[in-house]
Amino acid sequence: MTTIRLENLVKRFGDFTALKTMDLEIRDGEFMALLGPSGCGKSTTMNMIAGMEEPSGGRILFDGRDMNGVPMGKRGVGFVFQNYAIFTHMTVRQNLAYGPKMRGMSRSEIDRRVKNIADFLQLTPMLDQKSAKLSVNILQRLAIGRSAIVEPAIFLLDEPLSNVDAAFRAVMRTELKHLQKQFKQTMVYVTHDQLEAMTMADRIAVMDHGVLQQVGTPLEVYNNPANIFVAKFIGSPGMNLIAGELAETDRGLAVDLGPWGLSPPLPDDLANAARAAGSRAVQYGFRPEEATLASEGQGLRARVTFVERIGARTIVHAESGQPVKIVTENDVGFAVGDAVTIVPAPGAVRLFDAASTAAIRGA
């Protein structure tokens, strides 16, 4: 039950700057996901919150208290490691009891907590087994249990699900969310898996190259990416982006997309914002899920290059100089080589400044 504040946080390793600058407020009881590709600085940020690394600059505040110089054991954080870091020479019970024991809890209190957490995470049958021989899925739950048992005010998880199989990952996503609802900790969750971030997090902090790109709820980040990186990174597949130039037409402002033709006129607020932004070179973006395919009519002209069946849906790859992807129903009537017209849904279009990569947003 703690607010975490990062102020101008910087981390350098020798000449390498892992984290350029980071300002972020994680609210009390919030589930915040730090999302980004590997090397984006998310784990470094997490390690500094835990106290495993000292910041090169800036401050970390827990409830307004500066954590600089406070050793990790005194910060009151729980940490779940990517490789679980189970004490392999101990049994499951000893692993779970470790934290409470270090805090000097009474024997009966430790037993009560071990029983509760073991029930919650279905670890009861293997409580007295040596932990070295357990399966990855069980080690995973044990790692979470060992940190959760002392009910830390702040719970940090470093890619805890990256080593487990897909089916178990789906189960754990629900359980982690459930766990957080029950204990109401402030939770920071590092992941490179956007699905994990989207499904569990209250808010997502998207990072790249040591810079915070955007903070927002999963839907904000998905619907209104702050820049080209976020637009491409979030969504599977990511947002389609086509280079173009703003062009005034008699039906309003549109984007000249070269071989694709002229885009449908932009909505008024977006057009006004684009005019105000002043730049002419833009990236024209829309989600693969938010466009329809037609054989003729008004829209973006392209040719189908590949039809990818993924089960529930079909992804049509089309090209006109640059490639785009459109997610459609399975009964798509197009084959490779067909000419196709892509019609982005009204309101789905996003514009980005080609030079700064920042989003151009309507009011």
| Chain contacts with another protein (rule: CB under 8 A) | 50, 52, 71-74, 77-79, 81-89, 98-99, 102-103, 131-134, 136, 139, 146-147, 150, 163
Whole-angstrom distance, CA of residue 11 vs CA of residue 226 = 24
| Comparison of 103 and 112: residue with beta carbon closer to another protein | 103
DSSP label at 224?
Answer: S
Structural tokens at position 144: 């979470």
Cβ contacts of 112 within 8 Å, gap of 6 or more: none
Nearest to 4 by CA among 55, 44, 64, 58: 64
- What beta strand segments (E) does the chain contain? 4-13, 16-26, 31-35, 57-62, 65-66, 77-80, 154-158, 186-191, 203-208, 211-216, 240-249, 252-256, 281-286, 291-294, 300-309, 314-320, 322-328, 339-344, 350-353, 359-360
| Comparison of 98 and 183: residue with beta carbon closer to another protein | 98
| Comparison of 77 and 201: residue with beta carbon closer to another protein | 77
H or E element, residue 229? helix 228-233
| Comparison of 188 and 266: residue with beta carbon closer to another protein | 188
Token match 């914002």: residue?
273
| Comparison of 49 and 326: residue with beta carbon closer to another protein | 49
Structural tokens at position 74: 């005194």
| Comparison of 129 and 279: residue with beta carbon closer to another protein | 129
> Residue 161: what residue type?
L
Whole-angstrom distance, CA of residue 359 vs CA of residue 206 = 15
Least distance from another protein to the Cβ atom of residue 332, Å: 40
